[in-house]
């Protein structure tokens, strides 16, 4: 006996059927949801979030994000230890107080980037 499986992709926001739906993970304060959206609705979501995502103090995080059933690396502006140690050395040489460990303050990073 043959079996035929038909998959219908539906936008969670509008209920619109589409041939191209992607699952997007959203995480806020440690609680998350996955939502299936058409490309148009995803772009609308990004437009709404743009001021928050690009705020001066916003920091990107790295992690695994599931998208369309496969794992995709989240793009991020995370800093490596080499970057942090270079910034610390520069900061100390330029009169900034920074600790040996932990996060380098955003103001120090910005000053470093402007000087580079």
> Tens-of-pLDDT digits for all 116 residues of the chain?
899 988 888 999 999 888 778 888 888 877 888 889 988 999 999 999 899 888 888 777 765 544 444 444 444 445 554 478 888 888 899 998 888 878 888 888 888 888 87
The pLDDT of residue 62 is: 65
The pLDDT of residue 48 is: 93
The pLDDT of residue 85 is: 83
The pLDDT of residue 69 is: 46
Q: Tokens 């120090």 map to which residue? A: 108
Which of 18, 23, 17 is closest to 45 using CA atoms? 23
Tell whether 32 is covered by a domain: yes
Same domain, residue pair 14 and 38: yes
Q: Domain containing 94 — which CATH number?
A: 4.10.320
Residues of the domain holding 102: 81-115
Same domain, residue pair 55 and 35: yes
Q: Tell me how many domains the chain contains.
A: 2
Same domain, residue pair 67 and 87: no
Residues, the chain, total?
Answer: 116
Q: Domain containing 61 — which CATH number?
A: 3.30.60.230
Same domain, residue pair 33 and 59: yes
Tell whether 85 is covered by a domain: yes
Tell whether 3 is covered by a domain: no
Compute the distance between CA of residue 96 and CA of residue 79 in angstroms, rounded to an integer: 19
Compute the distance between CA of residue 114 and CA of residue 109 in angstroms, rounded to an integer: 9
Cα-trace Rg, the chain: 21
Tell whether 2 is covered by a domain: no
């Amino acid at each position: 006996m043959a079996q035929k499986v038909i998959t219908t992709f539906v936008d969670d926001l509008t209920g619109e059927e589409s041939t191209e739906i992607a699952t997007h993970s959203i995480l806020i304060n440690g609680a998350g949801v996955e939502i299936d959206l058409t490309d148009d609705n995803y772009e609308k979501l990004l437009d709404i979030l743009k001021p928050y995502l690009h705020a001066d103090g916003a920091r990107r995080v790295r992690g695994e994000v599931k998208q369309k059933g496969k794992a995709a690396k989240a793009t991020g502006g995370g800093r490596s230890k080499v970057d942090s140690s270079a910034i610390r050395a520069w900061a100390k040489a330029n009169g900034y107080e920074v600790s040996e460990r932990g996060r380098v303050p955003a103001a120090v990073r910005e000053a470093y980037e402007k000087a580079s």
